[in-house]
């Protein structure tokens, strides 16, 4: 397999490495990944995270195992096991479906390696296309609010929603970003703040519960978020707290955009209620990020509700920014995603 380099995923010298996003921003640590079990643990603990990136990390591992000589049966099981790791982000299922097609080819090793390289390079191009279309929606001086992390860390390219913000900054649009810290795992406060600082893009970190008053004070011009799965009717799942922002944006008449590659679109999923929502461990809510259980502020036996995602209905979305174009509610109601 060729050398493949992304911000949090790389394949060099026959070695697959992933950046531990759980330790960011204070420590950059790379894990060399050699097994399905290890990759499943990395994905489940969100050391490897981000809808596109999860699919690509699993893909590169399957291709690596094929080159290492694993049998077709072992590779088929690896694909099944990796696909089952997290249920919401459809990019993982998209990638594993592509790898299953490669696996039935006569020269399946070459087919798996070629597919992995294709999917990786495809995501780089999809990010560039989304970012360009998204940046065109940004006006000079915009204050843009974003949620969770959708940057280069979460993709093979420059990111989805944050990629559009990055591109707008590159175009000298002098934007400012409100960064939702994104409880409970703080992908915004830890990762988006980290990426924006590295790109020298002005930002202000806020708690999630501060977004509403900023909107009321007319301090937010647009909202850009990512997606983990877009249903055929335009409803979409994204990090929990996204729905809050969509309702608030509607009330305050603020443009609300979802930015995602076509690999996040699930045409077989009729609407948002059919999207499986991952439920996660209570420790993430009652502990401090990076030290789960070591510093619990809630009663240790507190009953906790911890869905990783929520669903935003299409009627709250101003536009869907995909690599193939920007789609309006009218487009989506006309069935453009079906």
Ligand X SMILES: CSC[C@H]1O[C@H](OP(=O)(O)O)[C@H](O)[C@@H]1O
Known catalytic residue at 228: yes
**Cβ-based burial of 121 (10 A; exposed 0-12, middle 13-18, buried ≥19):** middle
Q: What are the Cα distances from residue 11, in Å, to 28, 48, 159, 165? A: 17, 15, 19, 27
Q: Which is nearer to ligand X, 150 or 323 (CB)?
A: 150
Our finding on whether 51 is near ligand X (CB under 6 A) is yes
Inter-CA distances, 152 with 68, 103, 149, 159, 326, Å: 29, 29, 9, 4, 21
Interface region with ligand X, contact rule CB under 6 A, candidates 44-52, 61-69, 131-139, 249-257: 44-52
List beta partners, residue 37: none
Contact between 312 and ligand X per CB under 6 A: no
Whether the Cβ atoms of residue 199 and residue 166 lie closer than 8 Å to each other: yes
Strands (DSSP E) found in the chain: 4-5, 9-12, 15-19, 30-33, 143-146, 176-180, 203-206, 222-225, 229-231, 236-239, 256-259, 265-266, 309-312, 319-322, 325-328
Name the packing angle between helices 72-83 and 51-67 (round to 10°). 170
Among 6, 8, 18, 50, binds ligand X (CB under 6 A): 50
* Residue 40 sits in the site that holds ligand X (CB under 6 A): no
Residues binding ligand X: what is the number (CB under 6 A)? 16
Among 6, 7, 52, 231, binds ligand X (CB under 6 A): 52
Which residues inside 88-117 make contact with ligand X, applying CB under 6 A?
A: none
Q: Which stretch binds ligand X (CB under 6 A): 22-30, 34-42, 48-56, 170-178?
A: 48-56
Indicate the residue among 25 and 114 with the shorter CB distance to ligand X: 25
User: Residues 237-256 vs ligand X: string with x where CB under 6 A?
Assistant: -xx-----------------
Nearest distance, CB of residue 289 and ligand X, angstroms = 12
Q: Which of 47-55, 67-75, 104-112, 299-307 is the region at the interface with ligand X (rule: CB under 6 A)? A: 47-55
| Spatial separation of the C-alpha atoms in residues 9 and 156, rounded to whole Å | 7
Binding site residues, ligand X, CB under 6 A: 46, 49-52, 148, 150, 154-155, 160, 187, 226, 228, 238-239, 308
Active site residues: 228
């Amino acid at each position: 397999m060729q050398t493949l380099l992304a911000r949090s995923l790389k394949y060099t010298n026959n070695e697959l490495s992933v950046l531990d996003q759980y330790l960011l921003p204070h420590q950059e640590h790379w894990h060399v990944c050699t097994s399905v079990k290890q990759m499943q643990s990395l994905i489940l603990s969100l050391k490897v995270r981000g809808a596109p990136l999860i699919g690509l990390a699993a893909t590169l591992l399957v291709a690596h195992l094929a080159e290492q000589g694993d049998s077709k049966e072992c590779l088929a099981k690896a694909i099944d096991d990796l696909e089952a790791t997290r249920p919401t982000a459809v990019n993982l299922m998209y990638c594993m479906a592509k790898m299953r097609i490669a696996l039935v080819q006569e020269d399946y090793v070459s087919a798996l390696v070629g597919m992995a390289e294709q999917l990786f390079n495809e995501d780089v191009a999809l990010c560039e296309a989304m970012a360009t279309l998204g940046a065109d929606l940004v006006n000079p001086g915009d204050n843009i609010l974003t949620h969770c992390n959708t940057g280069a860390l979460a993709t093979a390219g420059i990111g989805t929603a944050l990629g559009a913000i990055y591109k707008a900054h590159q175009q000298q649009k002098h934007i400012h970003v409100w960064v939702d810290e994104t409880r409970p795992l703080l992908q915004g406060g830890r990762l988006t703040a980290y990426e924006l600082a590295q790109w020298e893009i002005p930002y202000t970190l806020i708690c999630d519960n501060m977004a509403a008053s900023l909107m009321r004070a007319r301090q937010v011009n647009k909202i850009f978020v990512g997606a983990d799965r877009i249903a055929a009717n335009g409803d979409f799942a994204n990090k929990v707290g996204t729905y809050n922002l969509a309702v608030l944006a509607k009330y305050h008449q603020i443009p609300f955009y979802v930015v995602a590659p076509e690999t996040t679109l699930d045409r077989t999923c009729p609407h948002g209620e059919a999207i499986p929502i991952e439920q996660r461990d209570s420790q993430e809510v009652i502990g401090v990020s990076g030290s789960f259980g070591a510093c619990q502020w809630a009663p240790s036996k507190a009953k906790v509700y911890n869905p990783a995602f929520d669903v935003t209905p299409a009627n709250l979305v101003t536009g869907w920014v995909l690599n193939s174009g920007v789609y309006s509610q009218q487009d989506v109601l006309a069935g453009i995603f079906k």
